[in-house]
């Protein structure tokens, strides 16, 4: 799975977004947690 990482500076949250489907994303306080949440939602 390919994804891009976004950072919300206001909330200090990372978001991992699937590059093939922007409706699949995961948030987290670290990049690793955001990626993990993305993979869990995609499964």
CB contact at 8 A, 41 and 24: yes
Residue 43 has pLDDT above 70, yes or no: no
Q: What is the rounded CA–CA span in Å between residue 18 and residue 10?
A: 22
Confidence at residue 41, expressed as pLDDT on a 0 to 100 scale: 87
Please state the pTM of the whole predicted model.
Answer: 0.88
Residue 36 has pLDDT above 90, yes or no: yes
Query: How many other C-beta atoms are found inside a 10 Å radius of the C-beta of residue 15?
Result: 19
Q: What is the rounded CA–CA span in Å between residue 7 and residue 42?
A: 20
3-state secondary structure of 8: strand
pLDDT digits (tens, 9 = 90+) for 14-35: 999 999 999 999 999 999 999 9
> How many Cα neighbours within 13 Å face the side chain of 3?
22
């Amino acid at each position: 799975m390919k994804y891009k990482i976004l950072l919300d500076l206001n909330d200090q949250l990372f978001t991992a977004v699937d590059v093939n489907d922007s409706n699949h994303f995961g948030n987290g306080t670290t990049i690793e947690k955001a990626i993990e949440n993305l993979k869990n939602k995609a499964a």
